Structure 1
Amino acid sequence: MEALVIVLDVGPSTGTLCADGGATFIDTALLCCDRIAQRKLFEDKNKDHMAVVVVGSEESDNRLADADADQYQHVSLARRLAPVDWPLVRMLSPDRLHATEAQGDWLDGLVVALDHLVEMSRTHKYQQRRIVLLTDFGGPLCTDQLDAIKAGLRKYDVDLMAIGTELATDGSDEMQLKPTGKTEPADDLQMKTEDGSALGGGEPRPGPSGARGLYRHDGKAKTRQQLEGESAVVQLIRAVDGGFFTFEQALPQLLFFHKRKSRAAPWNAPLQIGESLSINITGYSQIKKVTMPSWRKLAAGPQPAPVKRRTTYERQDEQRSAVPFEETERAYRYGTTLVPFSRLDQQELEYRSGAPRSIQVLGFTSASNVGPHLYQDTQTVQVVARRGDAGAEAALSALIHALQETDMVAVARRTYNNGGTPRLGALRPNIRHDLECLVWVQLPFAEDMRNPLFPPLPTAVPQETLSAVDQLIDAMDLTAPAAEEASERLEPGALLSPQFQRLYQVLAARALHPGEPLPPPDADLLRQLSPDPALAAPDALRAVAAACPLTELLLPHQRRETGRDVFQAAAAAAPDQAGPAATVTDLIKPEVTEVGTVNPAEDFDVLLRRDDVRFDELCSQMQRVISRLVRESLTRPALLEKTVAAIGRLRTACRGVSPAAYNAWVAEARGQLSERPAVWQRVVADRLGPIVASESAHPAAEEAEATRFYDGGAAAAAAAEAVQAAEQEAAEDLLDDL
């Protein structure tokens, strides 16, 4: 839990307008305070306390002024340390706080804030204490207690952060400050640049004469009093390793809401390899999909109240009589029949593995066999050795290094709880300078796989096309240039979800202004959603467009043709058509919806040209029809040509899309084909066996495999022919006996 005290200066100088007629210092400072409060308000399970000390108030409301009437004047503790709530957000608005005519010492405000922190720390356990100072240093200044304030901040471990206009600098930039590593990366007030590095004083804004930071926000030169105040705050910040940020640096970062990062819950279990090796490990969620906050339904009105939902069940009769829930039963509808399925049946249906909580290694495979396209689920888990177990650390480290050196992964099953449903996954080694671990990723089962088939891509690409694409990749490289350490734009760990940011902005606007229209998205949020101008690469894009001319391809439901278009197209094509004219049979011919046994090859061609039929399903239909025709060809020799034509048409289509699918089927169907000698002879004569590599640009069978196919089928066909001859001879003997 953190204690944060905002020290806000509202003296006369903070109410002057900027030189360009923009917002005053106090308006910009209040905007920063408002965003700090809202960030904490929207954090999950946030228990931080926040207080506000106003410097330059008309009254002097603090206990130090009560003890000494001549000290700490025009400083007020406007709000004591308490959890952040909407009244605090409303208080930090221009309607409640504005510039006054009173002048207060901002150092007195720091003392009052420190005194309040010490007072509240006696009754509350704060893990972190912080003061945020927002002032233009325009008020009176007494530095007699400067050393005492430094000592107090260090004694009670209080962080100090200042936000305001550009500090004055000399040629050595000695007054520019940068936050140290003391601020935690997960802290909700840490400022960062677009590349993720911590912000400091940054590049100060040049004044009218070009001198940096020598001018106030209203364009006038800073007074000696303001320069002395800036020098004093520099000393304080350096004494406690604090930080200074300009408004230009703070506001874009405070716009975004951050979820507080909490320590992941450990998952302790054994890693079992075989029957005798068990390593004590701990799993931590590394990446886990964050869901949107749940909504609560309220009754609309001046005083919204929660709504409780109640479900009632009624019979479908005229009386609509109610049925108690205990008398209901779940059922599944099959056609017009309702099949009851009780809760006991549902419990019996649930799978209970009986396995203990563990990760069991099933085997090892090459890392290339478990590509990113197989990753499933919404989280990854880091698996490390159990803390304090030296034997587990040594064993797991050896396993990680062995997998890394051999480029292998472990395929395992994970049971989260005792008796829970097991999950199939892979353990990949991850070795960094500060960490060695296995990363668990869930893998799909056969039912989870989808295997879409696509037409082949060209095998030969012109060199100018490759060069144009290479230039495009180089121009759109996300690596930040001229950086001390290479970093990436759009780094996942530093990129916030625009959906969450917009949701929080809208909720805050609705809470503060219930009856007003929702505001448009903030400019900084829209900038995050827009492409980076530095990565536009217009020249490279034009080169790719010239090397790869593209045409728009409309889907069937997007095509809009009028009757005039259809008749014009038919008239233009009529002189060139040499085929037979349309007949009455063509007009009454039914629509083809599946491959039939009457004209399988024609049906296959018609369905192949449609966009709403999957190729793998079409091949399955064709294979079933071929199997039926082969069975019936024994008693109906006339089906031989139709069967061979169907096999040839299927082979031709698969040769350009998926030779592996045809080869797998024909290898399985070889036994059935060889049982029909007439069919097998045509298969061999027309070379309808496996598709070899020389026939297709896709992976296909080798010549040796095709040879084995034909040789093995020939032997089976000869045996089948001998059996048929023997059966025919036996039948003739029976006739002779008659």
Structure 2
Amino acid sequence: MAEKEATVYIIDVGSSMGEIHHDRTQSDLDWAMQYVWDKITAAVATDRKTLFMGVIGLRTDGTDHLDNLSADDGYQNITIFQPLTQTKMPEIRKLTEDLHPSRTNEGDAISAIVIAIEMITAHCKRLKYKRNITLVTNGTSGVYADDLDEIANKLKDDGIELVVLGVDFDDPEYGFKDEGKKGEKAKVEQSLRSLCDACDGVYGTMAQAISEMAVPRVKSVRPVPSFKGWLTLGDPDKYDSAMVIDVERYPRVMVAPAPRASQHVIKTGIDLDATQTGESATLEGEGTGSLGEGISAIKQARSYQVEDNEAPGGKRDVDKDDLAKGYEYGRTAVHIDESDMNIVKLETKARLDVIGFVAQEQFERHLGMSRSNVIIATRISEKAAMAISAFIHALFETSSYAIARLVPKDGKDPHLVALAPSIESDYECLLEVELPFNEDIRTYRFPPLDKIVTVSGKNVVQHRYLPNDELMKSMSDYVDAMDLSTLASKTEDGEQEYAALEDTYSPMIHRIKQLIAWRAVHDSEPAPPLPENLIRYSAPPKELVKAVERKLEDLVVAASVKKVPPKSKARKRARSPEKPLSGLDVSSLLSTTHPPRKISRENAIPEFKQLLRTAGGAADIHSACQQLGLVIASYVKHSLGNAGYERAIEALRVCREEAIELEEPGAYNAMLLELKRKLLDGELGEERREWWWRVRMNPVGVIDKKVSEFSEVEVEEGRKLMTLSGP
């Protein structure tokens, strides 16, 4: 269970917090609230019911806090905006309305700290809580520093950590100093620093806190064992000499998932209860629910139907309990009753049985199929710890890996795993990764890269398709020049490697979290820029790219790299033909001097393309499409059964692609609709409607506006035209 925590934020909202200083574009309050919102939204994202937060406004226009302190003049202009409670979206919306600069500069920060102490004491009582108070102020109003020692002792006695973050406060350790500071602000800073020193609190400047916000917050995950049982060598049921060790299995490396979105609906006051065949979505709950104001979750419901000619619509609903499992055997479903399901299940017990050993040099690293796990002895048995330590050292000294059969739980399918020894200065363990079975391996044969085998069986090692010594050397030099280990930086603690693991973060995960938190606070403001820490290592370093430019040029020369002209996406009528790189136009040599005036049935597609190549305008394109339409009609009419249908479909596909590229979709649509008319009138023969079904199943339908912007056919109109009942 997560530790209980209570945090009170004291936010200075005096009129001076609405001013802008040090060439910033935001007021002191908006600038400081970046840090506060980051802390609040991060806490809300955890959805912990044991995490309580309260917010106190300092130097507010009115006074509204604890009843037992209201009459004292020292506690004026302090307002409790939020008591200690679990913060959710409604509380965030309310705080965004409350936290704005006031019209006064009166108010004492020390008095606000006393009120925060009273709030925590009343809420936590003597229970075990992690208690925090965070004060955010610019220190432009005076403080009553008479009782600092008593307040510091109270903070220490109650175990409350005090954090003071000041706007433009001096911090020699961070290297910030406000040169134009007034005397009153310096006194406030000194008093607050003395209080933090006396109670072992944290004192700093807001500039440092905001700069550290750019570093993504990494979540600590408590490991959960995925297996608890025996690690055995030999059969303990038969042999007393078998090795049996109580072990536990924990994940070593896991993939961090990005936040996932779920389906919700915005309420409009209308009954949105929805029902539909197949999967249906229905609203869950009424009113605002637990998801916030105006939002409801979607609950998925699934229905099952079978064909029934006597039922309305030809289908009948069936219950899920009436369904039975069927295993595919060819194209037939083989039914197995629930009572007989034991014949397809293995009766297994949770165990980790060692079945053999393999030398480290013989183990192929690409065989690992899963994330790695850690096998350790059970924490309550010293005997098990000694036994597994001996097993780990035996594997290490013999340079071997153990191959084991793992059953995580009773009745589960067995897995084949490899166990590797890992010995560090402070712990020992077995690293485990899943191995494939024979059916999991697919073996593919590829030709060798260093030689060419001729038809006669001769090995050719020098060929224009094989790299020569100059190319190999240029590539080797280029790869060596891109070595990132040469970019290690010098620090006070020694050399620090480039792109260290602890400094690299997933841009997807942290960017999504940042945007969710931002949108929770700001409804319509533009999204903040991408933090530099997330994209620092997403591109090669500029100094390294500049250093390898010469090596890359040598590689281009050695490999004889030539630029390939981009392929044209559209062949418009007014475009001049492309000139080949060799200067030899093969198409013009193969084509006849006079292209055919009429498309023949035997060579329809090539002759159609030749006609389009010499087309002078839209009329010629329409004429070519009409001729091809006559040929397609003959394919269908004289087809023996359905033997000629595919030939007709292929001709339609070519005509459609050419019409789209030439930006004349009307020519194809007119030809296709003419074929449909002939089919309905019986001109293509009897029982030829099956061919039109094939036209609908293939991507050769009417060209609508969704496919080509030059089409005059709307999407819905195109769907109607493709039905035989249409015009």
- Same fold judged by TM-score > 0.5? yes
The amino acid across from 2:552 in the alignment is: A
Give per-residue Cα distances to partners, 1:278-329, cap 9 Å, x unaligned.
1222222222224445544334433433333332333346632313134444
**Whole-angstrom CA distance in 2 between matches of 1:405 and 1:494:** 35
| Partner in structure 2 of residue 265 of structure 1 | 224
Out of 33, 37, 40, which is 1:37 matched to?
Answer: 40
Name the counterpart of 2:509: 500
The CA deviation at 1:83 is 0.7
**Inter-partner Cα distance in structure 1 for 2:15 and 2:114:** 21
CA distance in 2, matches of 1:328, 1:502: 44
- Partner of residue 366 from structure 2, selected from 373, 382, 406: 373
Q: Which amino acid aligns with 1:160?
A: L
Match of 2:431 in 1: 439
Q: In 2, distance between residues paired with 1:304 and 1:559?
A: 49
Confirm or deny that 1:225 pairs with 2:184: yes
Partner of 2:481: 471
Contact 2:246–2:377 (Cα < 8 Å) also in 1: yes
Q: Tell me, in whole angstroms, the C-alpha distance in 1 between the residues paired with 2:149 and 2:186.
A: 18
Shift of 1:82: 0.7
Q: Secondary structure at the match of 2:491?
A: coil
Structure 2 distance, partners of 1:450, 1:35, is 49
1:178-257 → structure 2 map (5 Å cutoff)? 202-204=174-176, 213-215=177-179, 221-251=180-210, 253-254=212-213
| 1:203-246 alpha-carbon deviations (Å, 9 max, x no partner) | 32xxxxxxxx133xxxxx11222223323333343445443454
Q: Pairwise CA RMSD of aligned residues? A: 4.0
- Post-superposition offset of 1:559: 9.6
**1:538 deviation in Å?**
2.4
TM-score (norm 2): 0.64
| Equivalent position amino acid for 1:225 in 2 | E
Residue 658 of structure 1 corresponds to which residue in structure 2?
A: none
Paired residues of 1:42 and 1:257 also in contact (CA < 8 A): no
1:405, distance to aligned residue in structure 2 (A):
3.7
1:354 paired with 2:348, answer yes
Secondary structure of the residue aligned to 2:420 is strand
Q: Distance in 1 between matches of 2:340 and 2:211?
A: 53
What is the distance in 2 between the residues matched to 1:398 and 1:330?
48
- The structure-2 alpha-carbon separation of the partners of 1:274 and 1:500, relative to structure 1 and needing over 3 Å to count, comes to same
Contact 1:34/1:89 (CA < 8 Å) preserved in 2? no
Distance 2:175 2:69 in 1: 43
The equivalent position to 1:307 in structure 2, one of 298, 314, 323, is 298
Give the direction of change, closer, same or farther, for the CA distance of 1:67–1:134 in structure 2 (3 Å limit).
Answer: closer
Using the alignment, how far apart are the partners of 2:555 and 2:57 within structure 1? 64
Q: Give the TM-score normalised by structure 1.
A: 0.63
Of residues 490, 493, 496, the one that matches 1:484 is 493
8 Å CA contact retained: 2:404, 2:417: yes
- When you count helix as a share of all residues, which structure comes out higher? 1
Equivalent position amino acid for 1:310 in 2? A
- SS of the residue 2:380 aligns to: coil
SS in structure 1 of the partner of residue 189 of structure 2? helix
Matches within 5 A, 1:250-649: 250-251=209-210, 253-254=212-213, 258=217, 260-266=219-225, 267-275=227-235, 276-293=242-259, 295-302=261-268, 303-316=294-307, 319-325=313-319, 326-331=321-326, 337-342=331-336, 344=338, 347-348=341-342, 350-355=344-349, 357-377=350-370, 379-452=371-444, 453=446, 455-456=448-449, 465-474=475-484, 477=487, 479-484=488-493, 487-488=496-497, 490-493=499-502, 495-508=504-517, 511=520, 516=524, 519-520=526-527, 522-524=529-531, 528=535, 531=538, 534=541, 536-549=543-556
Deviation for aligned residue 1:513? 6.1
After alignment, is 564-573 or 56-65 more displaced?
Answer: 564-573
- Partner residue, 1:603: none
- Listed one character per residue, the Cα deviations across residues 589-643 of structure 1 (whole Å, up to 9, x for unaligned) are xxxxxxxxxxxxxxxxxxxxxxxxxxxxxxxxxxxxxxxxxxxxxxxxxxxxxxx
Check 1:392–1:526 CA distance in 2 against 1; reply closer, same or farther (3 A cut): closer
Question: Is this contact kept in 2: 1:502–1:521, CA < 8 A?
Answer: no
Partner Cα distance (2:325, 2:492) in 1: 63
Output one character per residue of 1:4-32: Cα deviation in whole Å (capped at 9) or x when no partner.
11111122332211232511111112222
Q: Which amino acid aligns with 2:202?
A: G
- For residues 552 and 43 of structure 1, the distance between their equivalents in structure 2, rounded to whole angstroms, comes to 54
Deviation at 1:512, TM superposition (A): 5.2
AA aligned opposite 1:380 = S
| Structure 1 residue aligned with 2:53 | 50
How many Å apart are 1:359 and its aligned residue? Answer: 1.9
SS in 2 for 1:309: strand
Whether contact under 8 Å (1:424, 1:443) holds in the other structure is yes
The structural deviation recorded for 1:467 is 4.1
Is the CA contact 2:54–2:83 (under 8 Å) kept in the aligned structure 1?
yes
Alpha-carbon distance, 1:81 to partner: 0.9
Amino acid at match of 2:157: K
**d(CA) in 2 for partners of 1:554, 1:342:** 62
The one-letter amino acid of 2:410's match is N
- Amino acid of the structure 2 residue aligned with 1:307: I
In 2 relative to 1, CA 74–432 (structure 1 residues): closer, same or farther, beyond 3 Å?
farther
Summarize the Cα distance change of 1:9–1:533 in structure 2 as closer, same or farther, 3 Å threshold: farther
Q: Does structure 2 conserve the Cα–Cα contact (< 8 Å) formed by 1:10 and 1:100?
A: no
Distance 1:31 1:446 in 2: 56
Cα distance in 1 for residues equivalent to 2:577 and 2:70? 95
Q: In 1, distance between residues paired with 2:500 and 2:205?
A: 25
Give the superposition deviation at 1:552. 7.2
Residues 521 and 167 (structure 1 numbering): CA distance in 2 closer, same or farther, change over 3 Å? closer
Say which is worse superposed, 24-33 or 254-263, in terms of deviation. 254-263
The corresponding residue for 2:652 is none
Q: 1:35 corresponds to which letter in structure 2?
A: D
Is the 1:64–1:72 Cα contact (8 Å) retained in structure 2? no
Structure 1 CA distance, aligned partners of 2:517 and 2:553?
A: 49
Q: Partner letter of residue 26 of structure 1?
A: L
Query: Are the aligned partners of 2:56 and 2:112 in contact in 1 as well (CA < 8 Å)?
Result: yes
Cα distance in 2 between the residues matched to 1:361 and 1:406: 16
Change in 2 beyond 3 A, CA 1:57/1:285: same
The residue type paired with residue 360 of structure 1 is D
Please report how far the alpha carbon of residue 427 of structure 1 lies from its aligned counterpart in structure 2 after TM superposition: 1.9
For structure 2, which runs of at least 5 residues remain unmatched after alignment? 236-241, 269-293, 451-466, 590-601, 604-727
How far 1:440 sits from its partner (Å)? Answer: 1.6
The residue type paired with residue 271 of structure 1 is L
1:448-473 superposed Cα distances (whole Å, 9 cap, x missing partner): 33445464255957556534433320
Alignment of 1:116-155 (within 5 A): 116-122=119-125, 125-126=128-129, 128-155=130-157
- Call closer, same or farther: CA 1:164–1:487 in 2, change over 3 Å: farther
SS in 2 for 1:87: helix
Q: Distance in 2 between matches of 1:147 and 1:317?
A: 86
TM-superposed deviation, 1:539: 2.8
Mapped pair 1:2 → 2:11:
no
Greater mean deviation of Cα atoms: 436-445 or 523-532: 523-532
* Contact 2:10–2:135, Cα closer than 8 Å, also in 1: yes
Structure 2 SS opposite 1:114:
helix
Distance 1:85 1:147 in 2: 36
Q: Deviations over 1:17-52 (max 9, x none)?
A: 123251111111222211211111112545311111
